[in-house]
Amino acid sequence: MDPSNIQKSREPEEPRFLDFPCLPTDTIRDGKLALNRWSSTLTRAHDFPGAQAMLYAAGVPDREMMETAPHVGVASVWWEGNPCNMHLLDLGKIVKDAVKKQGMLAWQYNTIGVSDAITMGGEGMRFSLQTREIIADSIETVTCAQHHDACIAIPGCDKNMPGCIMAFARHNRPSLMIYGGSIKPGYSTLLEKRINISTCYEAHGAYNYNTLRNPNNLSHTKDDIISDIERNACPGAGACGGMYTANTMSVAIEAMGLTLPGSSSTPAESPEKMRECIKAANAIRICMEKNIRPSDLITKPAFENAMVMMMVLGGSTNGVLHLLAMAGTAGVELTLDDFQRVSNKIPFLADLAPSGKNFMTDLYEVGGTPSIMKMLVAVGLLDGAVPTVTGKTLGENVASYPSLPDGQQLIRPLDNPIKKTGHIEILRGNLAPEGAVAKITGKEGLKFVGKARVFNKELELDLALNKGQIPRGENLVLVVRYEGPKGGPGMPEQLKASAALMGAKLTNIALITDGRYSGASHGFIVGHIVPEAAVGGPIAVVEDGDTITIDAETNTLSMNVSDEEIKRRLKIWVRPKATVTRGVLAKYAHLVGDASHGAMTDLF
């Protein structure tokens, strides 16, 4: 779609999430598209004197601004207790000042977040995924209730970004996202190497299996080493630095045209991130003048771009969950089969953590995401014609950026990929009739067969790992169940377990779950098994000793149990009593859909 052809004066469609009209007024004024066409409901003439009195108190300077200035909401997912988010209030202030210099009114507000890295492996992780819905609800609520004309959202941690885009799809007013940016790599003074948050979890596995050593100085105890890692893994503000979920989602959303070029790879504490915040004010004005709205940008071609970037860079399995939810909210048809189709044709090129050695700051140094997109547009793997928040196409946005430099090792050439196809595999079989998502980079092989060892909660597996009770030798498939969207409740990530297996070098182990994984997880892992155990999926009746096969070549996840035996086991299976019966998690468990449809709560 050519952005210049987007109709300037159309009325938006009837809202899908409200039972009363929420249409703009005074769409055309003096032959031009009015920028304050939503806020003017409150500010024109004297129809709402109480509202105007409150707005004067909040900072509207005079009558002229009251009647003519558009209102831009600046929504940051700010809170102090997490490095991914702790700087977003300050970024929001830069945006607010830049919006005001454009002659518009800017209203800064924030929503909530949960730190996955802090809650990982604990009960707090059950609250993580549902924050995506709260963030979407919050931004939709403020935008519509306060009659904002546009929205600039500033997220940091991983659930933040899809939450913001889902809100954009709901209110459908001119909007753009500014990614808070990635953290710098840490440095271990004892190990004399770069580290990051994932190092902490992998070190914990080595710590429990007494294999945590400093090859440079064997006199250091395992407590010395893990303390040094804890102290130095996260040196400042920004989201986790590898191609984990936050960076997966920021790259995907940039490829969809919903951010300024380079937003996903610009480091959190860099001067360029501050400049991006200033540029956003001009971009949102362009969106308002040209009436470029989320429904123009959140399209099937945009999702195709998002999936391509996800495969090229080795993105998180959570990207599948979040893109499905974003598409579902926007009314765009996207299924698990689309991810498999794209994975079958797109090579895995990036040497980025968790499976590689580099971080997003390294990608920034070789040209960042615009340089990769420029290359992919040139070879026809990325659609450069999709419109963007700049008023130009994606291809036009990246054309002026430098190409990837000769000799760089981070992005492999197309004729020498890490893997000829993508690392995301959609598996089905008698263990996952409605789908499962595997992250298989090829380094672990493409097939794994092992005996099942079953755990009814992640905590049970974590305790076994802490005690060194998962043996080396025979191939085992660890089955963690009752951790899906309803069963968790909240579909917690299982980085603590997956990283502990990597740190302990338990290469004879695969891990499958109806829960999910952090983007920092790697190894032979399968998640998002649907139907989940809590609703009577076959994973609920796996028994210790069943042989399980994970096959990325045939895209199957199966156990050597006949259909008749599965039916017999399910017939006598008893649904466990709900672990949570009140509060936000109980409400979430009641509303949430399955992982194969994005674990959405607004399926009705």
Which residue ranges make up each domain of the chain? 3-183+239-398, 186-232, 424-597
- Number of Cβ within a 10 Å radius of residue 141: 14
Give the tens place of pLDDT for each residue, 567-591. 999 999 999 999 899 999 999 999 9
- In this predicted structure, the answer to whether residue 3 has a pLDDT above a threshold of 50 is no
Do residues 326 and 258 touch, judged by C-beta distance below 8 A? no
Q: What's the average model confidence in pLDDT over 14-19?
A: 42
3-state secondary structure of 476: strand
- Mean pLDDT rounded to a whole number for the chain: 93
Amino acid in position 102: Q
| pLDDT for 18 | 42
Provide the token pair at 155.
Answer: 């997220």
Provide the token pair at 548.
Answer: 């399980």
Q: Which one, of 194, 192, 142, lies nearest residue 168 by Cα?
A: 142
Q: Which one, of 353, 406, 322, lies nearest residue 131 by Cα?
A: 322
Least confident stretch, 4-8, 280-284, 290-294, 531-535: 4-8
- Number of Cβ within a 10 Å radius of residue 379: 8
Q: Which one, of 525, 526, 569, lies nearest residue 546 by Cα?
A: 569
- In this predicted structure, the answer to whether residue 22 has a pLDDT above a threshold of 70 is no
371 included as an active-site residue: no
| pLDDT for 522 | 74
This prediction has a pTM of 0.94
3-state secondary structure of 194: strand
CA distances from 128 to 32, 112, 114, 180, 492 (A): 44, 11, 6, 18, 7
Q: Which long-range contacts (CB under 8 A, 24 or more apart) does 41-47 make?
A: 41/147, 42/147, 43/67
Do residues 453 and 484 touch, judged by C-beta distance below 8 A? no
| pLDDT for 498 | 86
Q: At what angle do helices 336-345 and 300-313 cross, to 10 degrees?
A: 50
- In this predicted structure, the answer to whether residue 535 has a pLDDT above a threshold of 50 is yes
- Number of Cβ within a 10 Å radius of residue 576: 12
| pLDDT for 90 | 98
CA distances from 243 to 129, 145, 221, 222, 350 (A): 19, 36, 31, 28, 9
Give the tens place of pLDDT for each residue, 439-454. 988 777 899 999 999 9
Give the tens place of pLDDT for each residue, 166-218. 999 999 999 999 999 999 999 999 999 999 999 998 898 889 889 999 988 99
How confident is residue 501, by pLDDT bands cut at 50, 70 and 90? Answer: confident
| pLDDT for 495 | 84
> If residue 72 lies in a helix (H) or strand (E), which one and from where to where?
strand 71-76
Find tokens 């909240």 and name the residue: 490
| pLDDT for 130 | 96
- In this predicted structure, the answer to whether residue 17 has a pLDDT above a threshold of 80 is no
Distance of CA 57 to the CA centre of its chain: 38
Do residues 495 and 484 touch, judged by C-beta distance below 8 A? no
Give the tens place of pLDDT for each residue, 417-440. 999 999 999 999 999 999 999 998
| pLDDT for 347 | 97
More confident position, 219 or 16: 219
d(CA 349, CA 413): 7
Q: Name the active-site residue from 40, 76, 128, 518.
A: 518
Question: Between 3.80.30.10, 3.40.50.150, 3.50.30.80, 2.60.40.1120, what CATH number should domain 424-597 receive?
Answer: 3.50.30.80
Provide the token pair at 43.
Answer: 């500010």
Total residue length of the chain: 604
Give the tens place of pLDDT for each residue, 109-126. 999 999 999 999 899 999
Please count the CA atoms within 13 angstroms of the CA of 180 that sit on its side-chain side.
Answer: 36
Cα angle 316-317-318, degrees, rounded to a multiple of 5: 85
- In this predicted structure, the answer to whether residue 604 has a pLDDT above a threshold of 80 is no
Q: At what angle do helices 318-330 and 300-313 cross, to 10 degrees?
A: 170
CB neighbour burial string for 254-285, b if at least 16 within 10 angstroms, e if fewer: bbbbbbbbbbbbbbbebebbeebbebbbbbbb
Q: Which one, of 165, 185, 166, 160, lies nearest residue 88 by Cα?
A: 160
Parallel, antiparallel or unpaired: strands 193-195 and 556-559: unpaired
- In this predicted structure, the answer to whether residue 554 has a pLDDT above a threshold of 80 is yes
How confident is residue 294, by pLDDT bands cut at 50, 70 and 90? Answer: very high
| pLDDT for 31 | 66
Do residues 494 and 483 touch, judged by C-beta distance below 8 A? yes
Q: What's the average model confidence in pLDDT over 61-89?
A: 97
What percent of the chain stands above pLDDT 70? 95
What percent of the chain stands above pLDDT 90? 85
Amino acid in position 517: Y
